[in-house]
Amino acid sequence: MEEKKHMVGGISRKSLERLPVYHHYLEKKSSEGLETISAPVIALDLQLNEVQVRKDLALVAKTAGKPKMGYVIKELIADMEEFLGFHNTNQAALVGVGYLGKALLSYKGFEQYGVEIVMAFDADGRKVNTRIGGKMVLSMDKLENLCQRMSIHIGIITVPAEYAQGVCDRLVAGGVKAIWNFAPVHLSVPSHILVQNENMAVSLAALSKYLYEVEKNGWQDAKEEYD
């Protein structure tokens, strides 16, 4: 199935989504003492298309894999981290401290990927000036000013759908360059703003459709359709 070319910074969205998967896999192999690895082995272990794996790695690797030996794992990990900007920590602000917002604030793994949530905002006065996951929850009336002053580049939206566009507009006014949106609604933004939507309803629908295809056509045909 041909990959649709939704591009982000010169790389397809699908390739970008696979890179953290490769990174986690390579770190595991490195911790096991493996020093080199080939694209066919990666493809086999991750159940991916070998040609696609070669194309993905060619986007990030500074040196090509050598015949028979493949890539030096530690070098490939370093190239991948540089490409993804893991060492250039971007600060983020979260808006909406409900159950999902609290979970994201308490999660300790974002910094590994170059993102640090430094503060949160909420309209509920009972939550303002409290700390969740070590992050201060602030009043909404401080949003634009603090985002500008602290050069916040990422806004995370975890508010109900009816408030998401208003929050988005305020984050853009505060100078954010990218938005991670968990609200089930399409956001209108200027052309220079990147929006990454995490729509759980869409993901669940995709899973449901996949299981339907498995029952109808078998897992292999269904897997090829959804890869």
Q: Would you state the CATH architecture of domain 90-200?
A: 3-Layer(aba) Sandwich (3.40)
Boundaries of every domain in the chain: 7-84, 90-200
Q: Please tell me the pTM assigned to this model.
A: 0.67
DSSP β-ladder status, 90-95 and 154-157? parallel
Residue range 121-148, pLDDT digits in tens: 999 999 999 999 999 999 999 999 999 9
Q: Is 99 annotated as a binding residue?
A: yes
Handedness of CA 162, 167, 173, 175 (dihedral sign): negative
Residue range 43-59, pLDDT digits in tens: 999 999 999 999 999 98
Q: Is 98 annotated as a binding residue?
A: yes
Q: List, in order, residues 6 or more apart from 202 with CB less than 8 Å away.
A: none
Fold classification of 7-84 (topology level)? Arc Repressor Mutant, subunit A (1.10.10)
Element (H, E) at 172: helix 161-173
Q: Is 21 annotated as a binding residue?
A: no
Q: Quick one: tokens of 201?
A: 């309803």
Residue 197: CB atoms within 10 Å: 15
Q: Is 97 annotated as a binding residue?
A: yes
